[in-house]
């Protein structure tokens, strides 16, 4: 085969491959919506994190602002220490509250941040004080049944 045709075909092939890479990176992946890529760390201690995993989303008002960096058991306070990597373009006030929420009924768990009204902003490595752990379904049902039982017993007591 002639040299120039060979080069042409290989050139087309390489360009096609590069184009496929761009499609994958920007159309399929999240490289375009990745934000600045720079993050700072916030720490929160929850009494229960449910099924929260590393790289779970951190959302504020439903919008993705960061991801969970690590989950660790804190042996001193007996809580789950969650470190979050938050995009540097989003700053949160000192009295921001964090809670473990679930998207949908069976969906993945994520951390919801609700901004407070403080003038001072959280800095890298700061601790979020106001936290709310995951709702455990078994405990919820147990509490519901317990309340029901109590209600019916008091109702019976009233009838007597």
Q: Which residues bind another protein (CB under 8 A)?
A: 1, 3, 6-7, 9-10, 12-14, 16-21, 23-25, 27-31, 33-34, 55, 64
CB of 137 to another protein, least distance (A): 19
CB 150, min distance to another protein, A: 37
Q: How far apart are CA 37 and CA 140, in angstroms?
A: 39
Tell me how far, at minimum, the Cβ of 139 lies from another protein, in Å: 26
CB nearer to another protein: give 14 or 140: 14
CA 53, CA 73: separation in Å to the nearest integer?
A: 13
Nearer to another protein, 18 or 144 (CB): 18
Contacts within 8 Å (CB) and 24+ apart, 140-145 = none
């Amino acid at each position: 085969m002639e040299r120039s045709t060979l080069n042409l075909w290989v050139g087309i092939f390489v360009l096609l491959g590069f184009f496929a890479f761009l499609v994958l990176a920007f159309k399929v992946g999240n490289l375009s919506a990745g934000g600045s890529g720079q993050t700072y760390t916030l720490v929160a201690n929850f009494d229960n994190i449910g099924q929260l995993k590393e790289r779970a989303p951190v959302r504020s008002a439903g919008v993705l602002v960061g991801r969970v960096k690590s989950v660790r058991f804190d042996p001193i306070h007996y809580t789950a220490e969650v470190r979050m990597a938050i995009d540097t373009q989003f700053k949160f006030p000192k009295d921001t509250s964090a809670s473990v929420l679930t998207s949908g009924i069976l969906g993945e768990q994520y951390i919801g941040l609700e901004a407070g009204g403080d003038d001072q902003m959280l800095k890298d490595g700061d601790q979020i004080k106001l936290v709310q752990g995951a709702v455990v379904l078994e405990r919820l049902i147990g509490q519901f049944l317990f309340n029901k039982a109590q209600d019916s017993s008091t109702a019976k007591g009233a009838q007597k």
